[in-house]
Amino acid sequence: MTINESLHSVNGNSIVGPYPDGFEKAIFGMGCFWGAERIFWSLAGVWVTAVGYAGGDIENPSYELVCSGRTGHNEVVQVVFDSKIISYESLLAIFWESHDPTQGMRQGNDRGTQYRSGIYCFDERQRELAEASRRAYQVPLTDAGYGPITTEIVGGAEPVFYFAEGYHQQYLAKNPNGYCGIGGTGVACQVGLFSGPSEQ
CB atoms within 10 A of CB 99: 26
Q: CA 150 to CA 186: how far, in whole Å?
A: 17
**pLDDT 10s digits, 149-161:** 999 999 978 999 9
CATH superfamily of 22-193: Peptide methionine sulphoxide reductase MsrA (3.30.1060.10)
In this structure, which amino acid lies at residue 63? Y
Q: What is the dihedral angle through the alpha carbons of 65, 112, 38, 156, rounded to the nearest 10 degrees? A: -80
Residue 189 designated active-site: no
Choice among 32, 67, 121, 189 that is catalytic: 32
Q: CA 58 to CA 101: how far, in whole Å?
A: 25
**pLDDT 10s digits, 65-105:** 999 999 999 999 999 999 999 999 999 999 999 999 999 99
Average pLDDT, the chain: 93
DSSP 7: B
Q: CA 160 to CA 147: how far, in whole Å?
A: 30
Q: CA 2 to CA 52: how far, in whole Å?
A: 15
